[in-house]
Amino acid sequence: MSLLMTLRIAFKALGRNKLRTALTMLGMIIGVAAVIAMVALGSGATATIEEQIKAQGTNMLTISPGSVNAAGVRTGFGGNSKMIPEDAVAIRDLPLIEYVAEGVNTRAQVIYGNQNWNTQIQGTNVDWPTIRAWPMTYGSFFSEEDVKSAAKVIILGANVSTNLFGDGVDPTDQTIRVKNQLFRVLGVLGSKGNSAGGQNQDDQCLAPYTTVMKKLSGQIFLNNILAATGSADDVKPASDAITDLLRTRHAIAPGDPDDFTVQSLEDVIALRTQSTSTMTSLLAGIAGVSLIVGGIGIMNIMLVSVTERTREIGLRMAIGARGYDVLLQFLIEAVVISSVGGAIGIATGYGVSEFVKYYQNWPTLIPANAIIMAVGFSAAVGVFFGFYPARKAAGLDPIEALRFE
């Protein structure tokens, strides 16, 4: 018997019991839809986290003070205060490094008229907006001359500007007070919202790091150094070069731990997305159980179908059909049920993810491999759970089958 004829018989048999066929497909539809929806939600969350982190800057490295061991007592992260502006100058001379920004942090009350706001004052230099890929809404960034002269100029974050001057107001050239110092506002940073860690990136002000060190905090060390390479491929070798340089500058003996940390965006992305990826896999695994349940439903219905059509099978075998033809027919029926159910499940899962995206503002992303996996798995479920009923049908004795009532 030709394959085309076997397909026609299989589809005709399924069409005779449309409701039962549809209910059998339901298990596959729910299983595949659940897998697609869970993967879409998880992948969308992971992609959003990656974009938020990458928006902080391209090819960026963050060098921070590490711990220090004093008479057996180890301080925590940032306990070492050996990182100085000269370290940043040395890093700037490395061949793979294109941009470097010194970092000094303090908090202060900023005051304009009868309005005030407590915020973080970030001391940095002219490379900071390039490293962080951060545009200006109003005004312009401070200059290299402002850094050298420790000028009392400041850039406001969008949130700070709104709280001091009101929404949509350009405060350029206005004078505000920071602690007991008067600062001229040069402009306002573009709004970026919360970071991947949940901090409000717009709630900060920027000033020359020399100004913050000399006139606001009085410190002589740096809280961090930002560096950027020309391409993503240079990040790892640049990180290694910075590590070797700082170990030499800080006179760290071979075998002793670093008194600093060098972290890239890839490290941050890996840390932030690990929990999300784990949760996505867990949810997809739970949803995958529905596919197994759907497969068991297919096997159950196919066994019932074999019993109901015993005389039909006997008659077909009596007029010349081989056991292989009967096996192929029932196997095709099982694969059709699972594959069609899988296709409907994919469409349903896509619809659910779009619904959540539209009404809940939850980012979704359906990877192509998830669709391929769902289709392949649904077909495999049909073959796996349909083989036993098909084999049972093919093994029936024609004479006994014709006697079956």
pLDDT score for 66: 75
pLDDT score for 71: 43
Q: In the chain, which residues have pLDDT < 50?
A: 70-78
pLDDT score for 364: 77
pLDDT score for 73: 44
pLDDT score for 383: 74
**Euclidean distance between CA atoms 357 and 44, whole angstroms:** 10
Estimate to the nearest angstrom the gap between the alpha carbon of 338 and the chain centroid: 31
Q: Are 68 and 381 in contact (CB under 8 A)?
A: no
**Euclidean distance between CA atoms 172 and 191, whole angstroms:** 16
Which value, to the nearest 10 degrees, does the dihedral of the CA atoms of residues 96, 210, 202, 40 take? 20
The residues spanned by each domain of the chain are 3-52+273-403, 98-231
Q: Give the pLDDT confidence of 43-52 residue by residue, as tens digits.
A: 777 667 666 6
**Euclidean distance between CA atoms 111 and 181, whole angstroms:** 10
**Euclidean distance between CA atoms 206 and 307, whole angstroms:** 79
pLDDT score for 235: 84
pLDDT score for 21: 78
Whole-prediction pTM = 0.57
Q: Concatenated DSSP letters for 245-310?
A: HHHHHTTPPTTSPPSEEEEEHHHHHHHHHHHHHHHHHHHHHHHHHHHHHHHHHHHHHHHHHHHHTH
**Euclidean distance between CA atoms 247 and 70, whole angstroms:** 18
